[in-house]
Amino acid sequence: MILQEENPMAADLKNPLSLDSRVALVTGAAGGIGRAAALLLAKFGASIVLTDRAEMSDLLENTRQAILAIGQKVMSIKADLALSGDIDELVGSAVEEFKNIDILVNVAAIHLFPSPLLKISAAEWDRVQDVNLKSCLLLCQRIAPLMISRNSGCIVNIASDSAFDVIAEEGAYGISKMGVTKLSSYLAKELAGAQVRVNSIAPGWVRTEMTRQFWSDPEILRQAEKGIPLRRMAEPEEIANVVLFLASSLASYVNGHCIIVDGGRIAGVPC
């Protein structure tokens, strides 16, 4: 008789979306994709660590209260992710409270528009790269050792379909997001031996505060939607759905990839 080797993911696949007993740290959690991701992960059982800038305190507290209403454990920490000291304090506080971090979702980003590369100041360039790209690296450096010690973990970095396109006056942002996709691929290979999966998501147009200047203008919105085969912007919850997938056992063999979630925009302008 030939005995089949037991599938190590078999138990999880009985309830593949369950995140019970896991702890997720979500950056940029005051609104938009970060808030939607935090709420969805909580609904599927995760305890949540929320973080955003101090000026977003009221919105961050709103997210915290919404997760408490779901019935999950949650803590919120104000941090400027452009500062390595704030990142150290964030991770230290999270580990002190929850002892571990199983899921890291890097959402926090800033978008300077317009920002032509030949005119952007060094300070503006540094700020975009520090928040959008460097903070992802620093958080992974601080949190990955916890995952390695447990031989499991999941990191999801939010990039942008701007990483695969050239949009006028969006150079600093697009370059930072291409960096996020490449960072994710390198980390996926470095951490694979410890069964830590790293992937990125590249959203297209999403209806958030960051993009309000575009979707609040009917003409700009109309022009934007003309270039999207699905003819509409995404809602933050639609990106959060992909975060949940990547964090769950359904994506147990997905590693080192960037999932583009843009309604088909990069695929080409609709006929």
CB-based contact 160:181 (threshold 8 Å): no
pLDDT tens, 150-164? 999 999 999 999 999
Domain count, the chain: 1
Under the banding of pLDDT at 50, 70 and 90, the label for residue 214 is confident
Query: Is residue 115 domain-resident?
Result: no
Whether the pTM exceeds 0.85: the reply is yes
Tokens of 173: 């942002």
Quick check: 252 pLDDT over 70? yes
Q: What are phi and psi of 201, to 5 degrees?
A: -125, 135
The answer to whether 22 touches 102, Cβ cutoff 8 Å, is: yes
- CATH code at position 140: 3.40.50.720
Alpha-carbon separation of residue 156 from 99, 121, 168, 240 (angstroms): 20, 30, 27, 11
Give the SS3 label for residue 250. helix
What is the biggest distance separating any 2 CA atoms in the chain, rounded to whole angstroms?
72
Catalytic machinery residues: 173
Tell me how many degrees the CA angle 155-185-176 measures, rounded to the nearest 5.
85
Q: Domain range spanning residue 155?
A: 20-109+134-166+177-260
Residues listed for the chain: 271
